[in-house]
Amino acid sequence: MDEYILRAKAITKNFAGVQALRGVSLDIGKGEIHCLAGENGSGKSTLIKIISGVEEMNSGELEIKGKSYTKITPIESIRNGIQVIYQDLSVFPNLTVKENLAYNTIVADRKKIINWKEIESLAKEALGRINVNIDLNAIVGDLSIADKQLIAISRALLNNAELIIMDEPTTALTRREINNLFKIIKQLQERGISILFVSHKLDEVFEISDRFTIFRNGENIKSGATSELDDKKFTYYMTGREFEEKRFSYTRPDDTPLLSVKDLTLNHGFSDVSFDLYKGEILGITGLLGSGRAELALALSGYYKPDSGTFRLKGEEKRFSSITDAIASNIGYVPEDRLTEGLFMPKAIGRNIILPKIQKFASRFGFLNKQAIQDEIDSWVSRLAIKTPDAANPVRTLSGGNQQRVVLAKWLAINPEVLILNGPTVGVDIGSKYDIHEVIKELSSKGIGVIVISDDLPEILSVCSRVLIMKAGRVTSEYETADMQVHELTVEMTEDIE
Ligand code: ADP
Ligand code: MG
């Protein structure tokens, strides 16, 4: 590389005991598209915050256009031409497009009198630079995420960006929007602008980048030319493990559905969802953010009351008005955000496991059988291999993966016939993820019907035998996963509705 716009050298960052970065380095050449990849929690966003001056590094050095910094303020970072487009896009939803575009200029210049003519022509020019046509007077809050992103990019250009950093920009985009974004990124590159594109998706890294850097657990694992990367290496660098992908294989025991959902509709959530779930089956439901998958999960588990349609368990129609109702019918629900929804963090691990069925341990007079409770807790801790010296310790002392096992134990303890898992491995490290997948397959072998709701497509493919794809509140297609590849499912999930 002849010339670098930015070199990060041996950067460390500690957040009250969490070592987020352990001496990472990253070089971005002028006019280069560089992908920063890594599993959730590997430190990608933390590095971005250090580069943009939002967080201070503990040690290390940033070299920007040849100048060295051990400390940098947000203003200095911006003056050096660094612009970050965060996941939340940081646009002002109540302001118009032109107000959003002009905001920094107005604030930076401390203008008292605003010349709207001037702003309008500036804004027009900015949008024109990336060839997009958005009404300057539209309220930004009314625009699609993709359009908000384009406005954030235009704004970055107005601020004389030389390096644009995008933190996981494709999370909520359809395929067509992703294609458009990629086209714009290439145009920016042609103007000599450097791009740092953060992603954990292999296909995106291949499609867009010249070079890549992969972080794992706050460490720099590998940097190189994307042309030298392949599927297998990517997974290995990301996880540190070589996975023998063992797909779940399933044969229907008989033709009687365990669960049968017909034309289920939740106004403003999803419409006319129909499917059957059989004993021992693991059915995946996937879709982008906003596809209705989360609402469906909550309606199936009794949290939302559907507006129409039917829900039959072993042929019997059920109407739940709460999660407790569903539990009474042996339907367990493991929520996505285990920290806020699933567990009582300050309470003991054992207590969390036993809570939904505590009544079963009470005598006629309300006395609890302590020994029976302890035995039950011990058996779950050992069956799910929850790593703790003592089940009396609070749940918050456990790692993410072990907390997720506690959630599973808690629901297994009620002997469910149907288990609904919403994002069962969100935020857990890859090793625990693999173990949780094994647990899910084991549950199915006991005849439990499992529904896995997830946008983690490799997860869907290795755990589920069948998958439903949701778009805009409807199930748009259904596939047997046996011969499917991740990129095929990605295309299916992100393709626009015709
Ligand atoms: P990524 O963007 O790769 O998913 P992050 O940089 O967000 O990862 O996080 C890296 C690690 O630092 C994680 O373990 C995360 O929990 C932790 N972390 C990030 N920000 C903070 C913070 N403000 N306080 C405490 N821990 C944090
Ligand atoms: Mg992040």
Taking only the tens place, the pLDDT of each residue in 155-210 is: 888 888 999 999 988 877 877 888 889 999 999 999 999 999 998 777 889 899 99
Q: Which ligand minimizes its atom distance to the CA of 51?
A: 1
Count other C-beta atoms under 10 Å from residue 28's C-beta. Answer: 24
Quote the tokens at residue 280. 């021992």
- Ligand 1, atom 15, lies closest to the CA of 41
Cα 54 from Cα 202, distance rounded (Å): 28
Whether 68 shows a pLDDT value over 90: the answer reads: yes
Between the CA of 53 and the centroid of ligand 1 the distance, in Å, is 16
Mean pLDDT of 90-94: 81
Nearest atom within ligand 1 for CA of residue 55:
23
Segment of 101-115, 280-294, 415-429 carrying the highest mean pLDDT: 280-294
What is the layout of strands, in order, in the sheet containing 82-85? Answer: 82-85, 163-167, 194-199, 33-38, 211-216, 219-225
Nearest CA owner, ligand 1 atom 14: 41
- What distance in angstroms lies between residue 20's CA and the mean position of ligand 1's atoms? 6
Which residues have C-beta atoms less than 6 Å from ligand 1? 15, 18, 20, 38, 40-46
Beta-bridge mates of residue 8? 26, 62
Per residue in 359-405, pLDDT (tens digit) is 788 887 778 888 889 999 999 898 888 888 899 999 888 877 788 78
Closest CA to 209 of 233, 185, 192: 185
d(CA 232, ligand 2 centre) in Å: 23
In order of 25, 214, 222, 281, 390, the CA distances from 228 in angstroms are 20, 13, 12, 39, 47
Distance 135 CA to ligand 1 centre (A): 37
pLDDT tier, 454 (very low <50, low <70, confident <90, very high otherwise): very high
Burial 184-195 (b: 16+ CB within 10 A, else e): bbeebbeeebbb
Q: Which ligand is nearest to the CA of 38?
A: 1
Give the tens place of pLDDT for each residue, 309-321.
999 999 999 999 8
Residue type, 95: L
Q: For tokens 């967080």, what's the residue?
A: 55
Helices (H) and strands (E) in the chain — how many of each?
Answer: 16, 20
Closest ligand to residue 54's CA = 1
Nearest to 279 by CA among 252, 312, 300, 249: 252
If one residue of 18, 24, 214 were mutated to test the ligand 1 pocket, choosing by the most ligand atoms within 8 A of its CB, it would be 18
**Cα-based torsion angle of the residue sequence 445, 446, 447, 453 in order, rounded to the nearest 10 degrees:** -70
Tell me, what's the pLDDT at 446? 85
